[in-house]
Amino acid sequence: MPELTYREAIRDALVRAMRQDDDVFVMGEDIAEMGGSMGVTQGMLAEFGPERVRNTPISEMALAGAAIGAALQGMRPVAEIMYEDFMTLAAEQIVNQAAKHRYMSGGQVSVPVVFRTQGGAGWSPGAQHAQQLEAWFVHIPGLKVVFASTPEDVRGLLWSSIYDDNPVVFFEHRTLYGIKGEVPEEIEPIPLGKARIHREGEDVTVIATGRLVHEALAAAAEAEREGVSVEVVDPRTLQPLDEEALVASVKKTNRAVVAHEAVTRMGFGAEVAAVLQYQAFDWLDAPIERVGAKFAPLPFAPVMESYVVPHAEDVLAAILRTVNKKV
């Protein structure tokens, strides 16, 4: 299988979809000549032209509204919101329009639009360019929410998102763009709502998203040296959530750690913990551990940024607490 970076895998899904389907196009700020702030759409303008690789004004609400309108007319737009923080500016369109039209029309119209966005710490972007806001959108009925952690998953999930008839908010993590992984030659769509087990284990289940999947895998390797067998599960799709897979893993290991980069308070992990508490309470041999960022805006200084967000050692400490090993 060829090896692609996370960035290249996203571009590959977009290019192949646009080659086979004239209804698919991309739009966003600086995505044409500049190739987007993260270089994902680099080179696409030359192949598809400005009608299908559309630079937009610097107005997230306007570009989101235009994408929704195009979707309502039968197109399949992929709108890039440059930074996840700027989703707040487009929230009225995404939350009150895109998420509601199919329901309010009794299913007479669909809104097949994808809102791609990226965020995350690890490069000192400061408090306004690195928030992780996925839990905000999981809370909205009518939206599907995806957060892929590997090149293979990001390509297959983006393909499925483009061809879903519902609006999808597609989260990417800034520090993952350069990671490499084997990706099948042919695109294999990954159904939305199916979790992935990255590592089998017997003693503790770690349910992680985004960058924390990789931190969890590093922590699992370290825990193994301590004699603790860790299973690492990535939900991949936050809404719909593969509750069955998460619960089955915890029923097997009898312990759970939930890890994400977003602030712990009211984070996505709280919902996962509630699902596990409700459906797997009788199987739990220890309290569910939650790992996330401290309740603070993200600092600019690298040492402070690193202090606020979680890392592999934080996941490891939570793993060891669940099995009563000294941290």
Q: Which residue has the tokens 């892929």?
A: 148
- pLDDT value at residue 300: 94
Q: Which amino acid is at 298?
A: L
| pTM of the predicted model as reported, rounded to 2 decimal places | 0.96
Is 200 considered catalytic here?
A: no
- The fold for domain 196-322 equals Rossmann fold (3.40.50)
Q: Which ranges constitute the DSSP H helices of the chain?
A: 6-20, 44-48, 60-72, 87-91, 101-104, 134-138, 151-162, 211-225, 243-253, 268-280, 302-308, 312-322
Coil, helix or strand at residue 100: coil
Is 222 considered catalytic here?
A: no
**Are the C-beta atoms of residues 259 and 230 closer than 8 Å to each other?**
no
Q: How many CB atoms lie within 10 A of CB 302?
A: 12
- pLDDT value at residue 1: 77
End-to-end CA distance of the chain: 40
Q: Which residues contact 51 (CB under 8 A, 6 or more apart)?
A: 25
Domain ranges across the chain: 3-182, 196-322
Catalytic residue among 8, 29, 60, 172: 60
3-182 and 196-322 in the same fold: yes
The span from the CA of 13 to the CA of 159, in Å, is 6
- pLDDT value at residue 324: 87
Strand 230-234, strand 196-199: pairing = antiparallel
For the segment 84-130, what is each residue's pLDDT rounded down to a tens digit?
999 999 999 999 999 999 999 999 999 999 999 999 999 999 999 99
**Are the C-beta atoms of residues 269 and 310 closer than 8 Å to each other?**
no
For the segment 39-49, what is each residue's pLDDT rounded down to a tens digit?
999 999 999 99
Mean pLDDT by 10 residues, the chain (327 residues): 94 98 97 93 96 96 98 98 96 98 96 97 92 97 98 98 98 97 95 98 98 98 97 98 98 98 97 98 97 96 96 98 78
- What top-level class would CATH report for the domain 3-182? alpha beta
Numbers of helices and strands, H then E, in the chain: 12, 14
Q: How many CB atoms lie within 10 A of CB 122?
A: 17
The span from the CA of 290 to the CA of 239, in Å, is 19
The sign one gets for the Cα dihedral 104, 105, 110, 115 is: negative
The three-state (H, E, C) secondary structure of 1-20, written as one string: CCEEEHHHHHHHHHHHHHHH
Catalytic residue among 8, 29, 84, 129: 129
What is the separation of C-alpha 256 from the centre of its chain, rounded to a whole number of angstroms?
A: 20
